[in-house]
């Protein structure tokens, strides 16, 4: 089967007073039907802009998709008209963001807001739409959905609000759900519940999920495959096993070392390179303990497939073997 979503060499830039910010600079990956792909990276890595470029949720201008293709079910959606994009958003592609508060309108009941999402793409009677809204609230695990439907957002807890937002995103039974840090604002117990819910819903609704997070712990919970981004580029991509048990990129390793229970709880030293004037060579070279002269010239190393489905953008991915660089301590 062809992938549901295929992003090819996507470049999304922002024109700012300080220059052109190359937020996403040549990103490629696929999302198969029914699978969850996590995009992980620090803030500023371009992971949100990548996901927002899919249905052009980025502000245009100052944003611009300057290159590449986004194939959704075989069609290049970068070519769609504004009307066609609106049909896609909330239709075949649903979105959930970090802050449920901001996604809900405080002056309308949750039932009204779910019905609005249904009505945008379907022609149901008021009674039918209400029934469907109740069913959606049940699906996302809201108890006593038939009465809760007439409540206002402020009558729900943060976790319950996020469940309502997910119900809205599911209103049109999307083929793809894009979730950008949907649990980051929630406490860890609620986070675990929402991740469980998304896994259940994925089966029930037979959808693919693109899940954006800075947290590899969350990735371990929910991902089938992983795209590790840094400074607008894909550093490594592979199955969740490739990334957690067999990672080959120094940036991925550094992220893994920051996980609770690992040796190094400190964040990775150093900061993201300038977005308007990125360095030559590998964008991670200033923070990489394996960097050599080769890493500081030319372009970002190509994302080469080192085993089936496991791609790495690093000239020294085989480091440690004979004749290859040993780590030097750049961590001070
Ligand atoms: Fe480090 Fe060089 Fe690999 Fe970049 S290419 S991650 S600088 S070893
Ligand atoms: Mg973000």
pLDDT for res 331: 42
Q: Determine, yes or no, domain membership for 113.
A: yes
The answer for 263, left when phi > 0, alpha when psi is -120 to 50, beta otherwise, is alpha
pLDDT for res 269: 82
Determine if ligand 1 sits within 6 Å of the CB of residue 153.
no
Name the 3-class secondary structure at 313: coil
The answer to ipTM > 0.85 is: yes
List the domain range (segments joined by +) for residue 135: 99-171
Q: Contact at 8 Å (CB) between 208 and 36?
A: yes
Q: Determine, yes or no, domain membership for 264.
A: no
Determine if ligand 1 sits within 6 Å of the CB of residue 314.
yes
pLDDT for res 323: 53
- Ligand 2 ion: Cβ-proximal residues, 5 Å cutoff: 48
**Cβ neighbourhood burial of 226 (10 Å; 0-12, 13-18, 19+):** buried
pLDDT for res 332: 35
Name the 3-class secondary structure at 297: coil
**pLDDT tens for the 332 residues of the chain, in order:** 799 999 999 999 999 999 999 999 999 999 999 999 999 999 899 999 999 999 999 988 999 999 999 999 999 999 999 999 999 998 999 999 988 888 999 999 999 999 999 998 888 999 999 999 999 999 999 999 999 999 999 999 999 999 999 999 999 899 999 999 999 888 999 999 999 999 999 999 999 999 999 999 999 999 999 999 999 999 999 999 999 999 999 999 999 988 876 666 567 888 889 889 999 999 999 999 999 999 999 999 999 999 999 999 999 998 866 555 665 554 43
Q: Determine, yes or no, domain membership for 103.
A: yes
Taking only the tens place, the pLDDT of each residue in 234-280 is: 999 999 999 999 999 999 999 998 887 666 656 788 888 988 999 99
Compute the distance from residue 315 Cα to the ligand 1 centre, in Å: 6
Cα–Cα dist 132/6, whole Å: 31
Determine if ligand 1 sits within 6 Å of the CB of residue 163.
no
Compute the distance from residue 303 Cα to the ligand 1 centre, in Å: 12
Determine if ligand 1 sits within 6 Å of the CB of residue 235.
no
Q: What are phi and psi of 227, to 5 degrees?
A: -120, 115
Taking only the tens place, the pLDDT of each residue in 289-313 is: 999 999 999 999 999 999 999 999 9
Q: Which residues, including other chains, have CB under 8 Å from residue 75's CB and lie 6 or more apart?
A: none
Q: Determine, yes or no, domain membership for 130.
A: yes
Cα–Cα dist 303/236, whole Å: 7
Q: Which of 117, 101, 125 is nearest to 174 (CA)?
A: 117
DSSP 131: H
pTM: 0.93
Q: What is the number of domains present in the chain?
A: 1
Determine if ligand 1 sits within 6 Å of the CB of residue 290.
yes
Q: Determine, yes or no, domain membership for 138.
A: yes
Cα–Cα dist 91/98, whole Å: 20
Cα–Cα dist 256/287, whole Å: 15
Q: Contact at 8 Å (CB) between 177 and 171?
A: no
Q: Which of 23, 37, 32, 46 is nearest to 243 (CA)?
A: 37
Q: What's the distance, Cα to Cα, between the start and end of the chain in Å?
A: 49
The ligand placed nearest to the CA atom of residue 317 is 1
The single residue listed with the structure tokens 């998304």 is 198
Q: Determine, yes or no, domain membership for 155.
A: yes
Tokens in use for 171?
């209103």
Q: Determine, yes or no, domain membership for 223.
A: no
Q: Determine, yes or no, domain membership for 76.
A: no
DSSP 165: H
């Amino acid at each position: 089967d062809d992938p549901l979503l295929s992003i090819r060499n996507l470049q999304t830039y922002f024109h700012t007073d300080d220059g052109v910010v190359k937020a996403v600079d040549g990103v490629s990956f696929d999302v198969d039907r029914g699978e969850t792909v996590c995009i992980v990276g620090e803030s500023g890595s371009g992971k949100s802009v990548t996901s927002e470029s899919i249905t052009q949720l980025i502000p245009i201008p100052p944003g611009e998709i300057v290159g590449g293709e986004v194939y959704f079910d075989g069609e290049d959606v970068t070519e769609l008209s504004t009307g066609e994009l609106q049909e896609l958003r909330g239709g075949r592609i649903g979105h959930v963001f970090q802050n449920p508060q901001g996604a809900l309108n405080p002056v309308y009941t949750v039932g009204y807001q779910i019905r609005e999402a249904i009505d945008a793409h379907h022609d149901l009677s008021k009674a039918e739409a209400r029934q469907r809204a109740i069913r959606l609230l049940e699906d996302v695990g809201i108890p006593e959905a038939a009465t809760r439907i007439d409540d206002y957002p402020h009558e729900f807890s943060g976790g319950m609000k996020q469940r309502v937002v997910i119900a809205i995103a599911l209103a049109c039974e999307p083929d793809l759900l894009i979730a950008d840090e949907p649990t980051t604002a929630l406490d860890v117990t609620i986070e675990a519940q929402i991740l469980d819910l998304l896994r259940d819903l994925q089966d029930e609704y037979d959808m693919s999920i693109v899940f954006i997070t800075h947290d590899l712990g969350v990735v371990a919970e929910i991902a089938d495959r992983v795209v590790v981004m840094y400074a607008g580029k894909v550093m490594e991509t592979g199955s969740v096993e490739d990334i957690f048990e067999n990672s080959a990129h120094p940036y991925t390793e550094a992220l893994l070392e920051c996980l609770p229970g690992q040796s190094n709880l400190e964040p990775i030293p150093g900061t993201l390179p300038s977005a308007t004037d990125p360095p030559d060579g590998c964008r991670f070279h200033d923070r990489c303990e394996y960097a050599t002269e080769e890493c500081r010239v030319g372009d970002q190393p190509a994302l080469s497939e080192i085993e089936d489905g496991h791609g790495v953008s690093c000239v020294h991915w085989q480091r440690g073997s004979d004749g290859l660089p040993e780590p030097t301590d750049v961590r001070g």
